Amino acid sequence: MNNEQPDRGFKEDLFRQFARIGKCLSSDKRLELLHLLSQGPKPVEKLAQVTDMSVANVSRHLQILLDSNLVKFSKKGTYVIYTLASPEIAEFLTSLWRICEKQLADIARLKTDFMSQYEDYHTLSLEEVLSKMEEGSIILLDVRPADEFEADHISGAISVPMEELHHYLQSLPKDIQIAAYCRGPYCVYATRAVENMRREGFSAYRLEEGVYEWREYLVQRKH
C-alpha cells in the first residue's frame, strides 16, 4: 500500500460501488423504464407495451435494475409489479434530466424539432395554472393513464386519459379554459391533448411540469 495514500483502497472500493449505478444507467431503455416507474407501479406486461419491447427484454433490463437496487417488485396474483426502490431515485432522475438538458445541446434541439410539429399549442407555467385553479377560471386535466393518476397527481386535477379525452370534452362548454399535463417536460401526451382540444374549439394550454415538479414547487413555497 502507498504510505502517502493509506485510504487509496477504500476510495477505489467506494467508487467501484458508485460505478455499479453508472453502468446500470448506461442503457436508454433502462432509463425509460425508470422514468415510467417514477409515475407509479407497473407490471412487466404494461412496461413492455408502453416501451414497445418484448416482455423478455423488459424482464432482462428490470433484473439489472433490481441487481443495483434501483427497483423492487411485489406479486399480485399472476402479475409481477415493479416500483422504484425509493423516492430518492425519482429525485435523481429529475436531476439527471436537468443536467442533460443544460449540458447537451442535442436535447434542446430534439425538443424544438418535436414541438415544431404542433403549431397550435400554448404553455402556461405551473404557478399560472395553480393561480387560475384557485380562481376557478381553469380546469386541469391529467392525461396520463388512470393508474398513474391513482398513484399520485396534482391536487385538483381531473383524470382524463388520452383515449377518453374526446368523449370527456363533449360534456364541457366551449368557453371554459383547460390545461393539461402528463409525465413532465419530456412527455408528449399533454402537447397532443392541447392540439386536440384546440381543434375542437377549446382554449387549451399545456403544462410542462408534472407531479414531481409540482411537489418540488410545494416544498419551495413552504420555505
Return the active site residues: 182
Q: Do residues 76 and 83 make contact, with C-beta atoms less than 8 angstroms apart?
A: no
